[in-house]
Amino acid sequence: MWALLSVSDKRGLLPFAQGLLQVGFRLLATGGTYRALVEAGLPVTYISDFTGFPEVLEGRVKTLHPKVHAGLLARPDQEEELKALGLERIGVLAVNLYPFRETVAGGAGFHEALEQIDIGGPAMLRAAAKNHLAVLPVCDPEDYPRVLQALEEGPSPEFRRELARKAFAHTAAYDAAIAEWLSGEKFPPEKFLVLRRESPLRYGENPHQEAALYRVLGERGPLLEAEVLQGKAMSFNNYLDAEAAWNLVSEFQEPACVAIKHQNPSGVALGESVLEAYRKAYEADPVSIFGGIVAFNREVDGPTAEAMGEVFLEVVLAPGFTPEALAVFSRKKNLRLLEVLFPAQGAYLDLRRLRGGVLLQDADTEDPIAPKVVTQKAPSEEEWADLLFAWKVVKHVRSNAIVVTKGGQTLGIGVGQTNRYAAAKHALKTAKEKAQGAVLASDAFFPFDDVVRLAGEFGISAIIQPGGSVRDEDSIRAADELGLAMVFTGVRHFKH
């Protein structure tokens, strides 16, 4: 019986071919696969010698032939018909397709990309997958050892079905990439989001909800590429909170620390060192940080790890950990340590699920602000630094959102309130007397001047907000009366 090999990805090809020979298969191959097997000294038949028809049109047609497809599609009960036609069965098909996604991602031109659209490969894979009760369709080099073992023991129906499923998923994802490329649109008439399961999760947000982690095919993400250095497996909620933490800490160039609880920051701070940043983030809300997630944008050292030992945490994320820090953290076996290799930067599409549909939008990664002072008083140099710090933080807080900061440290955060005044009241009451001389950021404009007047009562010295309300003049007038500086950004950061 024949095994047909035609692979773009040649990982594991030679051991697999040798294993097929050992279990009694004859090798059949195309183009580059044939050359690789010949150079390795393996007995192999060229596809054109098998079909009796030469490769034509610069290789565009080589496997689209009745001898190939009849050999793949013949059911066991059609063996006599196959033999009567002088044809032979192909029992194993190993195919992976031209690297279309990689070619396009590399900036290939239109005609070069067209040439990377595989025709024969998907046709053969689909044929073999349809007839998987008689043929083993193999599209993943990682499966080669399992295929050889199955051939020695006798492939089970379950294993055959698994290979067929993978083959159809492989060709479906391939076609989805081509269709999306041909559309040339960010939001095409049909949007194909191909997801590949990374791992099952113990449960979702709550124990009665099933859950799993999936990767978007063709995309990279900091958490998906992160190395888990210690601790239990990440949970559904851990991933959500860790993503929120990493997105926020990636906003800063200075040493920064972010503490997250339920996808909202409880404390954010800058420092001359990671230890100073952590202490300030902890002091911003020493209650809410308990059971939370902490992220750093610098390597974590031993003294910082020692300081963190005083509080229970679920996850710590950082671009690195010193050996001293790892030794300290190892005392807490359940603490998850994630070494994250790159910051959360760049544009991507944000997806929100509806029953029967989805909403897609550009993620709020850009911040094209042009700050404009709209009051008689302008912010001081120190106030400007805190205003811009607060503005970065408020972007990552659920609306309605208010953030109070001073000296590169959050003092109070108003999260997810149904009105802006309530959010401001919560943030300012959390800050208490520390609000004196601090600044305040709002994710959206003030519909009335009440937040400005409340800020004045607590001693806030400067405010940053998008502006754009029909009552902006009321807020500006109130700020001038109270001697506050106020800056409009012209950009809103709703986060629902």
Nearest Cα neighbor of 308 from 279, 284, 339, 267 is: 279
Cα atoms found within 13 Å of the Cα of residue 94, Cβ hemisphere only: 31
Which of 231 and 119 is assigned the larger pLDDT?
A: 231
Q: What is the pLDDT at residue 159?
A: 94
pTM for the structure as a whole: 0.86
Residues 434, 440, 444, CA angle at the centre, nearest 5°?
150
* Amino acid residing at 18: Q
Q: What is the pLDDT at residue 47?
A: 86
Per-residue DSSP letters for 322-367?
-HHHHHHHTTSTT-EEEE--S-S-S--EEEEEETTEEEEEE-S---
Q: How far apart are CA 431 and CA 428, in angstroms?
A: 5
Residues 485, 489, 491, CA angle at the centre, nearest 5°?
150
**Residue 47: C-alpha distances to residues 31, 119, 141 (Å):** 8, 16, 21
Q: What is the pLDDT at residue 370?
A: 85
Residue located via tokens 């894979």:
125
Q: How far apart are CA 477 and CA 488, in angstroms?
A: 14
Q: What is the pLDDT at residue 75?
A: 82
* Amino acid residing at 432: K
Strand order in the sheet with 462-465: 372-373, 485-488, 462-465, 439-442, 402-405, 410-414
**Alpha helices (H) in 190-301, listed in sequence order:** 222-225, 236-249, 274-284
pLDDT digits (tens, 9 = 90+) for 369-391: 889 999 999 999 999 999 999 99
Q: How far apart are CA 267 and CA 281, in angstroms?
A: 5
Query: For 402-424, what is the mean pLDDT?
Result: 95
Query: For 73-78, what is the mean pLDDT?
Result: 82
Residue 382 φ then ψ, to 5°: -65, -40
Is the peptide bond between 400 and the residue preceding it cis, with omega within 30 degrees of 0?
yes
pLDDT digits (tens, 9 = 90+) for 223-241: 999 999 999 999 999 999 9
Q: At 462, which helix (H) or strand (E)?
A: strand 462-465
Which of 219 and 318 is assigned the larger pLDDT?
A: 318
How distant is the alpha carbon of residue 262 from its chain centre?
A: 19
Q: What is the pLDDT at residue 185?
A: 83
Lowest mean pLDDT among 72-76, 124-128, 151-155, 338-342: 72-76
**Residue-averaged pLDDT of the chain:** 91
What are the structural domains, with CATH classification, of the chain?
2-183 (3.40.50.1380), 223-339 (3.40.140.20), 372-488 (3.40.140.20)
Residue 496 contacts residue 474 (beta carbons within 8 Å): no
* Amino acid residing at 220: R
Residue 369 φ then ψ, to 5°: -85, 150
Point out the residues that are catalytic. Answer: 130, 262
Query: For 4-15, what is the mean pLDDT?
Result: 91
Query: For 404-419, what is the mean pLDDT?
Result: 95
Residue 395 contacts residue 495 (beta carbons within 8 Å): yes
Query: For 48-55, what is the mean pLDDT?
Result: 79
Q: What is the pLDDT at residue 68?
A: 83
Q: What is the pLDDT at residue 58?
A: 67
- Report residue 79's pLDDT band, with 50, 70 and 90 as the boundaries: confident
* Amino acid residing at 105: A
pLDDT digits (tens, 9 = 90+) for 430-468: 999 999 999 999 999 999 999 999 999 999 999 999 999
Q: What is the pLDDT at residue 339?
A: 97
Q: How far apart are CA 496 and CA 489, in angstroms?
A: 20
SS3 category, 129: helix
- Report residue 57's pLDDT band, with 50, 70 and 90 as the boundaries: low
Count of other CB atoms within 10 angstroms of residue 220: 11
Q: How far apart are CA 52 and CA 55, in angstroms?
A: 10
Strand order in the sheet with 2-7: 45-46, 26-29, 2-7, 90-96, 136-138
- Report residue 59's pLDDT band, with 50, 70 and 90 as the boundaries: low
